[in-house]
Amino acid sequence: MTKHGILTEEEFKTYKPPARAVACLNEFMTAKGCHESEIKVLDWGCGRGRFVLWLREKGFNAFGVDIDAEPVENGLTLFKAKGYKDTPLTLIPTSGRTVYADGFFDFLMSDNVLEHVSNIQVAMDEIGRVTAANGSGYHIFPAQWQIIEGHLFMPFVHWIPQGLFRKAVISLFVKLGIEPKWKELEGRSNNEKVDTYYKYSKDNIFYRRFSFVQQQFEKQGFKVTFQTINNPAVSRNRLLGPFARNRITKPIFNWMLLTFKQVEMVIKKGS
């Protein structure tokens, strides 16, 4: 189901939360010596709030924010049906300032969201503002130079400067049947699809170097630790694991992952 559909109990029962984010949150809770109800969690870019609801069902004091009203409204229906009387999901206004007080959250996470943020500075300012002293967070997003663009499923299109050539490449892939096949484009002409995909590539995805994102967090007083190389999908892989563990190959392999694959980071705010 997409963001255009109302979140139902049947769908929620099949939902699987992001395992790495959950592990990071549990580690934070254990280090703090707190119970779930004592931890305030924010899902930045929550969509319909499936992770927020999952966390609430586990006892966490969880909330979510998003810039898109449609998925937020489609998610709140189930929260209300389950008896939650507060407003767990809210919109991020154009100013970028959410409804929450300074230092309100102990833990803040985002899952494949930061690549959609056009003004990263505004987002970082707000993340820094609402995260409590000694708070933490987990963020995962695609690497700047990933081979296959993860939303359009087209190789290299995000490497190409905006303009006619990028649009021509998108057109070629559509003709070859390489496209995401969004439900809202069913039955549309190839030209309409190309226009939509090209506009999306300009207005909705903003890939940045991992070190740049690191610097933005550090400006807000966070210490950043990259975790991509420690992901079990890498460290336990028969082929990749040895490169991730060897002290000679580890630095360059880590750089390659952060540059061409995926950025996974844990952030911790000072006191």
81 falls within a domain: yes
pLDDT classification of 1: cutoffs 50, 70, 90: low
Pair (40, 155) in one structural domain: no
Residue 36 lies in a domain: yes
Task: Give the CATH number for residue 50.
Answer: 3.40.50.150
In a shared domain, residues 90 and 132: yes
- Residues 54, 163 share a domain: no
Instruction: Check whether residue 56 and residue 161 sit in a common domain.
Output: no
Query: Is residue 4 a part of any domain in this protein?
Result: no
Residues 159 and 140 in one domain: no
Same domain, 140 and 239: yes
**Count of domains observed in the chain:** 2
Widest CA span of the chain, in angstroms? 57
Specify if 110 maps to a domain.
yes
If you ran DSSP here, which 8-state letter would residue 189 be given? Answer: -
pLDDT tier for residue 4 given thresholds of 50, 70 and 90: confident
Does residue 2 fall inside a structural domain? no
3 lies in some domain = no
Q: Are 21 and 111 in contact (CB under 8 A)?
A: yes
| In a shared domain, residues 94 and 74 | yes
Q: What is the mean pLDDT of the chain?
A: 96
Give yes or no for a contact between 108 and 131, defined as CB atoms under 8 angstroms apart. yes
Query: What is the pLDDT, as a whole number, of residue 3?
Result: 73
pLDDT tens, position by position, 212-224 = 999 999 999 999 9
User: Which H helix or E strand runs over 266?
Assistant: strand 262-269
**In the chain, what percentage of residues exceed pLDDT 90?**
96
Domain carrying residue 190? 149-203
Let me know whether 199 and 212 are in one domain. no
What ranges in the chain are assigned the alpha helix state H?
9-13, 19-32, 50-57, 69-81, 120-130, 164-175, 190-203, 210-219, 232-235, 241-245, 250-260
- Residue 84 is predicted with a pLDDT of 94
